A and B are shown apart, each in its own frame.
Chain A
Amino acid sequence: LNTDALADALALSQHHDAVSGTERQHVAADYAKRISIGYAEAEGLVASALASLVNQRLSSNVINPVKGFQQCPLLNISYCPPSEATLANGKSVVIVVYNPLAWKREEVIRIPVSTGEVFVQDSAGKEIESQLLPLSNITFSIRKKYAKAYIGTAPSGEPKYWLAFPVSVPPIGFSTYMVSRPKQRGRISTMSKEFRSDGST
């Protein structure tokens, strides 16, 4: 595992001034493909590194070490199979949040989920306040159109909500969060309240 393809793709794009619009479309498509290949290769490397770090932290207490990490490059159009399908299958989603900067960060992350009945815990098992936001029609339509264009098939299933929750990540380090479906009702994410304007009302 390495990042050679990504290095080559970036070097080529930068050297040839690959600014959108100022090259022929088939050339832009070639740059995009090379960067995509590089991204996929780097994703594998990062997944392996994160699994190694997480398993080191878990040490010998764990029977089944963490293996396959996946990323969601199409998260911006709400396409994220690991978060959607895992919850739908009744399992919990483990999210490792990595901070590449040398200062502590407090941010809110958002992932698409297929159910409104979820709750979030940090790595100590402490429950984290979270919020559900319905996906907009625009997001749905882009997801449908572009996921099909980029992955070749229409995405199976539809997420219903964005799940938003605050994360705190140490400098050049990572934090772990878990999203689960509750066994009993009571401790679930807060649904957003929706207000629509109607004329001046």
Chain B
Amino acid sequence: NNSIEVGQGNLKLLYSADEGKLTQYVNSRNLVAASVEQSYSFYSGYVGDGKDTQASGAYIFRPNGSFPIKSDHQVSFTVLRGPILDEVHQQLNPWVSQILRIYKAKEHAEVEFTIGPIPVDDGIGKEVITQFSTTMKTNKTFYTDSNGRDFIKRIRDFRSDWDLEVNQPIAGNYYPVNLGIYLQDSTMELSVLVDRSVGGSSLVDGQVELMLHRRLLHDDARGVGEVLNETVCIADKCEGLTIQGKLYLRVDHKGEGAKWRRTVGQELYSPLLLAFTEQDGDNWL
């Protein structure tokens, strides 16, 4: 059927074979099936001009256009299968790649993204995001954690305690995400947990967006007094940072995602510690 099935336990993800794009999320245990797509893009940073001098910087998010990150050619798409887990490796361009993992014994997908060095030789600062899109009808509503504690209801272009005038339709709807973000409609929930603090939103119904990395070329003049353009230098050669992090994706029937968000969220915060030592021969005792 021109699609590739990944995952050998209850959870399976389907990819279109020709484009290598995620299309379906299926859990055979609880009979959840959802159309889910993922994409990457970046916002270009606002430079600030004579009329409007406020530039994008460390504190100020003022996107000046959105640009999809697509491969010039067929996306490099490799699937690894085995008894413990399946992996899908994708290289979108020279500075964006990801590995998606489905563990046989788990019912969520782990997305390890690697981004950078973000190129800025075109003179444009970039803020890189990923989006998960579904057909869920979420009516402008999404939920983000409050510094790892309760998830709080967010409504696009709305605040419960004052009349909001929206000047920045993207930035004005961004919220801090320290643990995760989720959406729900009348039947389903889509949850994404994070391994680091990021910004996130749902700018379109059924869609979750997270900002993963950024590199900007102007100071926002809000106190840092420095451009957000960190580099790593090896042998006098400097380049922008490369970052690597993980997202955890799960779809549930409505009302069934909370337990997973709390328990797995706690496990991400307190990971298993590994300590190594060595031993001679077969003395396993």
Residues on A lying within 8 angstroms of B by beta carbon are 19, 21-25, 28, 46-47, 50, 58, 61-62, 66-72, 75-77, 80, 82-83, 86, 89, 91-101, 103, 105-109, 111, 121, 123, 125, 129-134, 136, 138, 142, 145-146, 148-149, 164-167, 169, 178, 180, 183, 190-197, 199-201
Contacts and interface: CB of A to CB of B under 8 A. Distances in A.
30 contacts: A22-B224, A46-B273, A69-B276, A70-B275, A76-B244, A77-B244, A82-B276, A92-B279, A92-B284, A93-B276, A97-B273, A101-B267, A103-B263, A108-B84, A108-B85, A125-B285, A129-B84, A136-B99, A138-B91, A138-B97, A142-B242, A146-B232, A149-B234, A164-B84, A180-B284, A192-B80, A197-B74, A197-B78, A200-B2, A200-B17
Most A CB within 10 A of own CB, among B80, B89, B244:
B80
Main secondary structure of the interface of A (DSSP, over half): mixed
B276 A94 contact: yes
Contacts of A66: 277
B70 interface: no
Contact of B274 (A24, A89, A108, A111): A111
B165 interface: no
B272 A99 contact: yes
Contacts of A105: 267, 272
B81 interface: yes
A70 B276 contact: yes
Interface in B29-51: none
B143 interface: no
B285 A25 contact: no
B226 interface: yes
Contacts of B273: 46, 71, 97-98, 100
B275 A46 contact: yes
Interface of B: 2, 4, 17-18, 20, 58-59, 74, 77-85, 87, 89, 91, 97, 99, 103, 105, 114, 197, 214, 223-226, 228, 230, 232-234, 242, 244, 263, 266-267, 270, 272-282, 284-285
Given A66-B277, A76-B244, A80-B276, A164 B85 contact: yes
Which of B234, B272, B274 counts the most A-chain CB atoms under 10 A from its CB? B274
Nearest to A20: B230
A199 B76 CA distance: 10
B79 A94 contact: no
B78 A194 contact: yes
B285 A72 contact: no
A98 B85 CA distance: 22
B244 A193 contact: no
A101 B91 CA distance: 36
A72 B77 contact: no
A131 B278 contact: no
B271 to A, nearest CB: 8
Contacts of B234: 145, 148-149
A200 B74 CA distance: 9
Contact of B266 (A69, A101, A131): A101
Contacts of A169: 272
B214 to A, nearest CB: 8
A148 B232 CA distance: 11
A131 B101 CA distance: 13
Given A95-B276, A97-B273, A98-B272, 9 more contacts: A96-B277, A101-B266, A108-B85, A125-B284, A129-B84, A190-B82, A190-B83, A192-B87, A199-B18
